[in-house]
Structure 1
Amino acid sequence: MKQMICVKWGKGYGTEYANRLYGMARRNTTGPFRLVCLTDDPSGLRPEIDAFPLPELGCEHPKRTMGKWRKQVLWGADIPALTGLQGPVLFVDLDTVIVGNIDDYFTYGDPDRVYLARNWSKPLHRLGQTSVFRYPVGRYPEVLEKFRADPQGVADREGFEQHHVTHSVPGGIEFWPESWTRLFRLHCVPPFPLMYFKQAKLPPDAKMVTFAGGPNPSDVQLGRWEPDQPEFPSRLDHLSRLFKAERPWRHLRRYIVPVDWINKYWRD
């Protein structure tokens, strides 16, 4: 049984994200497959998804930090939704686009180790990126226990939950082959100024494309980087807003041409 888990809470990602994740995963795995969704609102989820209540964090949520610390509950020693399952479980963020067969994610390497994508924004550091990671459920409760002991201190030191995971897994972490998991804004979007004229590419050998740090795949479909931008803004319209932007250089680089392959792969 290939086992995948996702987490959906709050208003950031609607039910359609989980439903699309199931559809993409089912098309790109062979043999028995299960998707567990830990959520605070299971309404509208397709019946093939096994929905369970999202466990409480068990401590005060850190303040003044961008990290998605609620994901730390995945490291608990007793997750009712996964109790009794054997073998490793693959976690995938809801804003991930699966573009190829992912069977290897379930079988690669040692099933008792933790495998992550490399944190591409800090290539000289041995840091993991938790948009896609595989772990043996309940085997490393120290990750959650260490966080619960000092949640604000951990958040202040680490900044992001994925850094905490990197530094807290006993025995260290492992990485997938780099070509498998690609980050959209770094590996797909053409460099400035080519992004004004060319579509974002789909890297060869990629199996999943993640969207950590934006843009969102639903916005990319519409040819925009931010949800408050107009759909399909012209190049001239985008440039005309440059001097009104708080961070002009960031605004200049955040232009995207609608991407055809998002529509092909990111669907139920």
Structure 2
Amino acid sequence: MNDRKVLCIKWGTRYGPEYVNRLYGMVARQLTPPFDFVCFTDDQHGIRPEVICHDLPDLGCPVPTNAPGKFRKLALWNADLAGLRGTALFLDLDVVVTGPLDELFAVGQPDEVILARNWIKPLERLGQTSVFRFPIGGHAYLLEEFRADPEGLAGKFQFEQRYVTKRVRGGVRFFPSAWVRHFRLDCLGPWPLRYLRPARLPRDARIVMFPGKPDPADAIAGRWSDAVAHAPPLAHLAGLFDAQRGQPLGRHLKRYLRPVDWVAEHWRE
């Protein structure tokens, strides 16, 4: 076993094994060996053999139903995480790795929790757990405290990433903002530009996150979700006058993008 681990989680049916396989391929191209790539999953079928698969870690309490956050991810803070040791970089399945990852392991101290910054709420100093680094087993109190009052803490913090950001003893650190980018905020640009040019990859970006929609497959196809097909700019604008468009005018106007070639270039096995 290697000291550097890259972790992901796949449960349910939203993401198939191809997401795990693409993520491994991107990491293998951008991270200097040695490292272990580990997937916690309820279905190992179709996952490439280079990936070390383990069953989903035990949350140890019922998953809260009173908040929208993905609190099941807190199981990663188990004191014993499938017997793994070392420093872990967790990546959501829908991120796109676009640059070298070695510095994400080198920055800061080994015992620190380092997250991507959540710029949707810039005044809150909130972390984003689509990308974060932590010492395996090093902050087990996060899960132990949550198990004692899952509904109460979920109701208070609403999102797993807010709970982690606020409850890590000694505070969290953030990766340099240039390294981890948000597709909608940092790549698409203001809504008029979305009609004139494709989303751009910011300089020095190592990882691009895709929280919510669109996801990488949508960006490649030039659509906001798989429920709609790509349309030329004028055709999409014409939809403003369609009484059947199914969403407010402003939302329809903003939810447009051209096909993005750099996502296709990086998001592959």
Q: Could you state the TM-score of these two structures normalised by the residue count of structure 2? A: 0.94
Residues 1:234 and 2:232 are matched in the alignment: yes
Q: CA deviation at 1:31?
A: 2.2
Q: Counterpart in 2 of 1:30? A: 32
Q: Counterpart in 1 of 2:8? A: 6
CA distance in 1, matches of 2:252, 2:67: 23
Q: CA deviation at 1:84?
A: 4.7
The correspondence of residues 64-83 of structure 1 with structure 2, limited to 5 A, is 64-80=66-82, 83=83
Q: CA deviation at 1:245?
A: 2.7
CA distance in 1, matches of 2:175, 2:122: 14
Q: CA deviation at 1:64?
A: 4.4
Q: Counterpart in 2 of 1:150? A: 149
8 A contact 2:26–2:97 mirrored in 1:
yes
Q: Deviations over 1:217-238 (max 9, x none)?
A: 01111110112112x2233443
CA distance in 2, matches of 1:60, 1:251: 38
Q: CA deviation at 1:260?
A: 0.5
Q: Counterpart in 2 of 1:265? A: 266
Q: CA deviation at 1:146?
A: 2.0
8 A contact 1:142–1:168 mirrored in 2:
no
Residues 1:209 and 2:208 are matched in the alignment: yes
Q: Counterpart in 2 of 1:63? A: 65
The correspondence of residues 1-268 of structure 1 with structure 2, limited to 5 A, is 1=2, 2-80=4-82, 83-85=83-85, 87-230=86-229, 232-242=230-240, 243=243, 244-268=245-269
Which has the larger displacement, 51-60 or 6-15?
51-60
CA distance in 2, matches of 1:66, 1:117: 20
8 A contact 1:3–1:34 mirrored in 2:
yes
Q: CA deviation at 1:61?
A: 1.5
Provide runs of 4+ in structure 1 moved above 4 Å. Answer: none
CA distance in 1, matches of 2:34, 2:61: 36
CA distance in 2, matches of 1:92, 1:152: 26
8 A contact 1:35–1:50 mirrored in 2:
yes
Aligned to 1:199, the other structure's residue is in SS state: coil
Of all paired residues, the percent bearing the same amino acid is: 50
Gaps of 5+ in 2: none
The alignment yields a C-alpha RMSD, in angstroms, of 1.3
8 A contact 1:190–1:198 mirrored in 2:
no
Aligned to 2:124, the other structure's residue is in SS state: coil
Q: Could you state the TM-score of these two structures normalised by the residue count of structure 1? A: 0.94
CA distance in 1, matches of 2:167, 2:51: 30
CA distance in 1, matches of 2:172, 2:258: 36
Q: CA deviation at 1:62?
A: 1.7
Q: Which letter maps to 2:36? A: R
